[in-house]
Amino acid sequence: MTKKVAILGGGIAGLSAAHELVERGFEVDVYERRAIFGGKARSMPVEGTATGDRSPLPGEHGFRFFPSFYRHLKDTMKRIPYAGNEDGVFDNLIATTQVLIARADATEVTLPSELPDSLDEWTAILGAWFGNDLDIPPDEMNFFVDKMLTILTSCQERRDLEYDHISWWDFIEADGKSDAYKDFLGRGITRSLVAMQAEVSSARTIGNVYLQMMLGLAAPWLDVDSVLDGPTNDVWIDPWVEYLSQHGAAFHPETTIDAIECDGERITECLATGPNGGFSIDADYYIACLPVEVMLELMTPAIEEGAPSLRNLDRLQTNWMNGIQFYLDRDVELCHGHAIFVHSEWALTSVSQHQFWSEFDMSRYGDGTIDGIFSVCISDWNTPGILHRKPARECTPEEIKEEVWAQLAAHVNDGARRQLDEANIVAWHLDPAIDYPDPNNPSTAVNAEPLLINTVGSLQHRPEANTAISNFFVASDYVRTNTDLATMEAANEAARRAVNGILEQTVGDHDPCLVWELEEPVVFEPMKLYDRMRFKMGLPHSGA
């Protein structure tokens, strides 16, 4: 008899779980509160921007990027058919070749985001990291490299039980170092890429991310950073939903999960509200693919009793990381990849998307005049800006637009050279997850889609995908995974782990979902074994 699985949430985790299940013959229903599937990764039509017979401009929660270590997600993408592509939607990824380090009142530094293959590129990257391009003193850069080698030669037990309880700031001993060291190696990555403060971020998480990015650069067969060649739902999510539907998955958009009923041992039903009113969801298994703040609202004493691993979800923290898109009448590339605005008060990062969307005819969207889409992520909503002197949380949407543009311009406009001109803005779009209950009081703003952050000591509060409730599993970026960061990759890996939990309980010859470890050079394995021995003896790392 075919087993039925109810998937609560239609983001990357939910779609990933559905994919693994339908390919193994399960009956699957996916319930999503929004009208559009894809979660934080989705793109969306911007209402009111279309004229004539054109389509609305494409907006998004924030831009997507696909580092080389996204192994689980890319494996799934290769199994989503797309017309003309041998490897499905995976072939819609385009490798970036550069990353821009922009500084206020200083020259920008453009680095290759791939292994250098020319003398000029080697000169650029070596000059940036080990020369004076970033103004980091050589002795401090050497110290940082030693810290990275310490992580690379540390055993997993030390990373989990020691480094998770140390902040990234303290681990790299940022106090007393130069401003450049603090800006680039301390706060730069943590604020701009994962919306975290170095002072509270787990050294385990940030160190692992740094390692993976650096190791990706050293692997010429991998693309360090890739982006999609069109709006996310056009070239990925919609083909995915179509493929899953063709394989029997049923999708229920605009459906809110109101309650998860539990008798202490099993989930008995879920209560939901859809376009036609309330109804009950009955299934053999349930996978909650919900963000932590939503899952917390559904927790009950019975669930906590039956699944003790979920009791500490309220100890996990979230932060705001949301995007704004500027639609321009000319394409402003800045670089062939992502830009990090190191000194921006709001921790801004950006990508100019049209350069990667060669098959995407912008004349068919908006008013037909758009030639560039400048997508920006805002990762710090608590620091006052330079224009309105207020944090983003207290600004109106119009003020956010003005402030973001001012901070961007302060980094790349230099005297007569104006790379960004406000006159080129035709339209703009702020992530609709930022809601204003009182439009006259912007400080009432709430964020419907915050981002999980890995703070010091948070690993102990994160559950496995399997729970002690026999028919209940969780798959979200807060679940313990090898990826260990709130990303699409972690969501996909968590989904695979949840599906494997179901497979362990069912009769059949289904192969388990593949789950990979983060790859690190095998040459360091003997040193990790030595460190494991030292850790078990209560000794510090030999490089400490």
**Contact present, 484 and 490 (Cβ < 8 Å):** yes
Q: Are residues 27 and 65 in the same domain?
A: no
Q: Are residues 325 and 382 in the same domain?
A: yes
Q: Are residues 331 and 434 in the same domain?
A: yes
Q: Which residues contact 343 (CB under 8 A, 6 or more apart)?
A: 103, 104, 183, 410, 411
Domain boundary among 197, 221, 245: 221
Q: Are residues 357 and 399 in the same domain?
A: yes
The confidence score (pLDDT) of residue 240 equals 99
In a domain, 530, yes or no: no
In a domain, 458, yes or no: no
Q: Are residues 184 and 73 in the same domain?
A: no
Say which DSSP state 51 is in. Answer: -
Give the Å distances, CA to CA, from 303 to 294, 463, 467.
Answer: 15, 14, 10
Q: Are residues 409 and 490 in the same domain?
A: no
Q: How far is it, in rounded angstroms, from Cα 194 to Cα 201?
A: 10
C-alpha closest to that of 455 among 172, 209, 156, 199? 199
The confidence score (pLDDT) of residue 212 equals 86
Please give the order of strands across the beta sheet that includes 322-328.
Answer: 109-112, 98-102, 337-341, 348-352, 372-378, 322-328, 425-430
In a domain, 238, yes or no: no
The confidence score (pLDDT) of residue 509 equals 83
The one-letter amino acid code at 249 reads: A
Q: Residue 54 belongs to what domain range? A: 43-96+224-230+321-447
Question: What is the signed CA dihedral for 212, 215, 220, 221, rounded to 10 degrees?
Answer: -50
pLDDT tens for 427-468 read: 999 999 999 999 889 989 999 999 999 999 999 999 999 999
Q: How far apart are the first and last CA of the chain?
A: 58
In a domain, 153, yes or no: yes
C-alpha closest to that of 199 among 173, 160, 179, 162? 173
The confidence score (pLDDT) of residue 211 equals 86
C-alpha gyration radius of the chain: 23
User: What total number of domains does the chain contain?
Assistant: 3
Question: Which residue ranges in the chain fall short of pLDDT 50?
Answer: 122, 130
Q: Which residues contact 136 (CB under 8 A, 6 or more apart)?
A: 144, 178, 180, 181, 184, 185
In a domain, 345, yes or no: yes
C-alpha closest to that of 251 among 520, 518, 6? 6
Residue 514 in tokens: 């593949």
C-alpha closest to that of 14 among 424, 254, 288, 319? 288
The confidence score (pLDDT) of residue 416 equals 66
Q: Are residues 288 and 334 in the same domain?
A: no
Q: Are residues 129 and 217 in the same domain?
A: yes
Q: Are residues 306 and 340 in the same domain?
A: no
**Cβ neighbours around 212 below 10 Å, total:** 20
**Contact present, 293 and 338 (Cβ < 8 Å):** no
In a domain, 72, yes or no: yes
The confidence score (pLDDT) of residue 132 equals 59
Q: Are residues 8 and 27 in the same domain?
A: yes
pLDDT tens for 139-192 read: 998 898 899 899 999 999 999 999 999 999 999 999 999 998 998 888 877 776
Q: Are residues 29 and 50 in the same domain?
A: no
User: If you write DSSP's letter for every residue of 155-187 in order, what string do you get?
Assistant: -HHHHHHTGGGSBHHHHTT-TTS-HHIIIIIII
In a domain, 154, yes or no: yes
In a domain, 140, yes or no: yes
The pTM is what? Answer: 0.94
The confidence score (pLDDT) of residue 107 equals 76
Q: How far is it, in rounded angstroms, from Cα 288 to Cα 9?
A: 7
CATH number for the domain spanning 480: value is 3.50.50.60
Q: Are residues 267 and 332 in the same domain?
A: no
